[in-house]
Structure 1
Amino acid sequence: MHVPPATLPRRLLIGAWLAIAALTAVVVVTSNLDVRTGLLLDVSVALAALGLTALLFTRHTVAAALGLAALAALSPAATPAATAATLQVARSRPIRTALLVAVAGTLGHAVQALWHPVPLPLVWWLLCDVAVHAALLGWGAFWQERALVLWSLRDRARRAEAEQEQRVAEARTAERTRIAREMHDTLAHRLSLLAATAGALEYRPDADPAALAAAAGRVRSGVSDALEDLRQVIRLLRADGLDHAPDLDDVAGLVEEAREAGSAVSYDAPAAGSAEVPPAVRTTLFRVVQEGLTNARRHAAGAAVRVELEIGPGEATVRVADDGGRPGAPGDGPGSGTGIVGLHERVTLLGGRFDAGPRAGGGFTLAAWLPWDR
């Protein structure tokens, strides 16, 4: 891949042109100290060379270089400009084009030596001519390759920086999603329990005082548990981690809390095998049950809920199903819709399957299958 070098600053271009002009003037003067007959030719060639030099740093570089090589065959006045042209083409054009210009410059100076007096024997002059143009070609190619390497390094640095920014943005998004999921999975469950208990108190003001006191106690206990869950989330935000990750043993506590809040919940606990379940799978199974009970209270108040948890060799299955609830029973209102999305992400990350949807006979079902290495 050919990458043109960066455009030279205008001050540098002007300086280069002035330097070539000065060298050209020196050549014209020194070559005509004794012979005055070639002065007009040298001056004409010098002016033409200076005019073509201005085109070396444009898109006409190759044409200008070939023109200077032709002028070098007429007079040594074009030698400084022709030499600079060979170097400029070598540093800014492909090697084949640069080689063509170097050969043209070599031939131009060889022709100049055939009819114009030179300070060295002709053979040595030709050897020096070839050596100089070969050196210019190599120098320009090295210059171009160096510019290509620097451009490549800068491009890689820019891409690496962009990729790093993208990774940071993705990490921030993932962390925000994780925090939002934890907040939903913990606080939403507690608050839905409180709402269900408060709803029972609101619709049964004539209940037995002992029952009212027990319900008020559950509200107080629920608020205390919600505050503790909030502290857990705050510790998570501070990157301190959770003191207690939910476990399969806590599923029975979820079921008992739901029953105390007035829900009819049946629970088929696994007979054995829970000890071999990895911690991440245990937490996810707990969250599925938690979300299923929360959804049943929110969208199907008064529904009978069945929780099934099975542990097999290298896999676990959990299912939470409700029967749709009683028409007109008070619920907690619409949710945020992020709970099921969060569960799907949890289960998918563990290589499992997650299903959520209405049942054929009415109601709603959450189901998840989670594997692990045996």
Structure 2
Amino acid sequence: MKIRYRYWACQLGGWSFFTYLWHNIRAGEGFAWRLDVFGDKDFYSAFLIGIFSTHLLYLYLRKQQVERYRLGAVFLKVWGAVSLTALLIQLLITGLTIIEEGGWSSFFSSIYKSMDENQFHGVAANIVLGGIFLAMWCIWHLVVWGWVIVYFSLLQGRFRRIELENANRLKQAELDNLKTKLNPHFLFNALSSIRSLIAENPERAQQAVGELAEVLRSAMLSEHQQLIPFGKELEVVQHYLAIEKIRFEERLRVHYTIDPQIHQQTMPPMLLQTLVENAIKHGISKLSAGGDISISAALEDRMLVLRVENTGQVAETVTQTGFGIQGTIKRLTLLYGNKANFTIHNTARQTVCATVKFPAA
């Protein structure tokens, strides 16, 4: 319904404007903005002929489905339809003129009289009349081509919007799919940590379950959001680290360097938490003496920069096949394109540094 409304709005508006301009051009007087054309019945007849003829062309284009192709690819196919439409307009206008003049005899008499007045002596009247008809047909031919160009331009814009909407739906589906995988991935790691505590320290295991409940509550609140405030994400990370702190005790030391101005900056949920999970799983948990995790967040050149550095060294296979890392890269690409950046590398200090950069809101 909305598309049909736009079509008729363009038809009525476009032909009204063109017919008004056409009837403001008078022989010997040039162009001028006149209002008396609205009292001329020829104005309305030309307006209706234009709409009728181009609507027939529109129905043909719809039936042939040529609107799905670029204009250059269907030029020859459309050419014939445009030529016939222009011929139809010229024939209808000529027919109305003949009727207004009172028939063929009166029409030709007025033409011949006009030709004499304009000193067409010595030239065959039929040739001159044919030349005038051909010239007008060429003019209408150009007018109809202009209509076709506008029609295709509007349709191509519509198809681009549809393609963009479809791409956005696909991107949304991929992001939702990644989130459904990230949440169980996180839950598995947290439950593994709690399981190891049950036999050793049931009281601390109970405390860890409470922390896990807080993490899950935050995760559920952000389930239908693609972006959340950094402060909310930091709360989830702190609850998760509280669970791991119960398991690792003094073997896990956490340091924060957070710019207080960025708490309301938006970011993908579970992003920072995934980096911290990787630091625990592939770093701290593999070291008998444990280690340190340093989490920093700040604004740098209009980019939100998150860094998670942990004691240990990361294997190349982890960076290439680890779900958390690959999922992080894919989410950043879907949300920010090439404006986001993710790196993870071993440093000379026997630590691993994971850095995420993406545009600040």
Is the 8 Å Cα contact of residues 211 and 240 (structure 2) preserved in structure 1?
no
Tell me, in whole angstroms, the C-alpha distance in 1 between the residues paired with 2:208 and 2:306.
31
Match of 1:259 among 217, 225, 245: 245
Aligned to 1:148: 145
Map 1:1-374 → 2, pairs under 5 A: 6-7=79-80, 126=123, 128-183=125-180, 188-201=185-198, 205=199, 207=200, 211-219=201-209, 222=212, 224-225=213-214, 227-229=216-218, 231-236=220-225, 246-248=232-234, 251-262=237-248, 264-270=251-257, 273-274=259-260, 276-277=261-262, 279-280=264-265, 283=267, 287=270, 289-300=272-283, 301-303=285-287, 304-309=291-296, 311=298, 318-324=307-313, 335=323, 337-342=325-330, 344-345=332-333, 353-359=341-347, 364-368=352-356
CA contact (8 A) 1:355 1:368 kept: yes
Structure 1 residues 367 and 235, CA, compared in 2 at 3 Å: closer, same or farther? closer
**Structure 1 residue 356: deviation in Å?**
1.1
User: Percent identity over the alignment?
Assistant: 7
Asked if 1 retains the 8 angstrom alpha-carbon contact of 2:230 and 2:262, the reply is no
* Offset of residue 3 of structure 1: 5.5
Aligned residue identity for 1:290? Q
Structure 1 residue 130: deviation in Å?
4.6
Letter in 1 for 2:157: A
Deviations 1:314-366 (A, max 9, x none): 675523223159xxxxxxx9646543314654996695653113455766431
Q: Measure the CA separation in 1 of the matches of 2:150 and 2:177.
A: 40
Q: Deviations over 1:239-285 (max 9, x none)?
A: xx869962546654443232124374322223x741x226236x46x
| Counterparts of 2:335 and 2:171, CA distance in 1 | 15
Q: Distance in 1 between matches of 2:238 and 2:305?
A: 17
Alpha-carbon distance change, 133 to 171 in structure 1, aligned in 2, over 3 angstroms: same
Q: Do 1:181 and 1:339's aligned partners in 2 also have CA atoms closer than 8 Å? A: yes
Q: Which runs of 5+ in 1 are unaligned?
A: 9-86, 92-119, 326-332
Q: Which residue of the partner structure matches residue 108 of structure 1?
A: none
Aligned partner letter, 1:366: A
Aligned equivalents of 1:316 and 1:218: distance in 2? Answer: 30
Residue 246 of structure 2 aligns with an amino acid whose one-letter code is: E
Alpha-carbon distance in 1 for matches of 2:123, 2:299: 90
Instruction: Indicate if the aligned counterparts of 2:297 and 2:305 stay in contact, CA closer than 8 A.
Output: yes
- The separation in 2 between residues aligned to 1:248 and 1:309, in whole angstroms, is 11
The 8 Å contact of residues 318 and 368 in structure 1, kept in 2 or not, is answered as yes
Query: Within 1, Cα distance between the matches of 2:295 and 2:356?
Result: 11
8 Å CA contact 1:296, 1:305 repeated in 2 = no
Does the aligned pair in 2 maintain the 1:322–1:365 contact within 8 Å? no
RMSD: 4.6
Unaligned runs of 5+ in 2: 1-71, 88-114, 315-320
Amino acid in structure 2 at the alignment position of 1:218: A
Kindly tell me the number of residue pairs found equivalent between the two proteins: 244
CA shift at 1:369, angstroms?
5.2
* Paired AA for residue 306 in structure 1: I
- SS of 1:269's equivalent in the other structure is strand
Which one has the largest radius of gyration? Answer: 1
Query: For 1:162-206, what per-residue CA distance to the aligned partner results, in whole angstroms no more than 9, with x for missing partners?
Result: 3122101221123224434544555533442112222454xxx4x
Instruction: Decide which structure has greater helix share.
Output: 2
> 1:233 and 1:179, CA in 2 relative to 1: closer, same or farther beyond 3 A?
farther
| SS of 2:232 mapped into structure 1 | coil
CA distance in 2, matches of 1:352, 1:143: 53
CA distance in 1, matches of 2:327, 2:271: 9
Query: Secondary structure at the residue paired with 2:123?
Result: helix
Distance change in 2, residues 1:215/1:316 (3 Å): same
- CA distance 1:273–1:256, shift in 2 (3 Å): same
Q: Secondary structure at the match of 1:279?
A: coil
User: Closer, same or farther in 2 for the Cα pair 1:3/1:186, shift >3 Å?
Assistant: same
Rounded to whole Å, the distance in 1 between the matches of 2:307 and 2:322 is 24
- Give 2:14's aligned residue: none
**Cα–Cα, structure 1 residues 322 and 234, in superposed 2: closer, same or farther, change >3 Å?**
same
Task: Give the residue type in structure 2 aligned to 1:215.
Answer: A
